[in-house]
Structure 1
């Protein structure tokens, strides 16, 4: 006498246009695809792609990470165009953008959102004579 619960099949969300966030540090590169509001669709990083140690900071590692994330975003969500937001000073900035462009995802705009210090850190105390 168990009642069969009617479960709705999860509807696949179609996101034709979204955002691509690339955080490129010297040690790693994190690539994140999101919708226009900023809700994350897929993400990948050089470390998640099997790179370890100093190889994570390379341009090739960021290219592989971007390809992996782009593949997931295109197949699962049908992503066609992105606005790119780049943060950081790592080697993988350009490589990640080029990798996404090769995946038939058009890049609408590229914006650098790297943080800039307003005043910087507190200076050292004066040296005693």
Structure 2
């Protein structure tokens, strides 16, 4: 029986991911079967970090390091490319299962999650870990005229 191929496409070797960086990523990858994918989506940027179950960082990428500058970093497309760059080598080598932690309310949140789902990795769970204030900040003093 043929071995199932991951469904994620290899990253393009253009300005988004240089071949030198790709070689560095391939050389430093540890073999991990299970991992945790942390997606931090702010309004201006999206940061993806892949860790093993102990919390040791294996791979990471962000929209800014993927080659996007200025307001383009906050777009869903930039988040998609950054996610693809962060998990491509791990999926190709050995990653089978993952847990996903999503933090923030940025526009790249859904696009990054969609890319993880399409990558072929089986997801154990998807958890929203966005911090929510219990009582909020103290309001300003009443204005006196």
1:9 is matched with which residue?
Answer: none
Unaligned runs of 5+ residues in structure 2 are 1-28
1:51 is matched with which residue?
Answer: 68
Secondary structure of the residue aligned to 1:64 is: helix
1:30 is matched with which residue?
Answer: 47
CA distance in 2, matches of 1:96, 1:45: 11
TM-score by length of 1: 0.85
Does 2:109 correspond to 1:93? yes
Unaligned runs of 5+ residues in structure 1 are 1-11
1:102 Cα deviation after fit = 2.1
CA distance in 2, matches of 1:90, 1:104: 24
1:88 Cα deviation after fit = 0.1
95, 116, 121: which is aligned to 2:132?
Answer: 116
CA distance in 2, matches of 1:41, 1:72: 10
1:73 Cα deviation after fit = 2.2
TM-score by length of 2: 0.76
Runs of at least 4 residues off by over 3 Å: none
> Bigger radius of gyration, 1 or 2?
1
Q: Is the contact made by 2:50 and 2:86 (CA closer than 8 Å) also made in structure 1?
A: yes
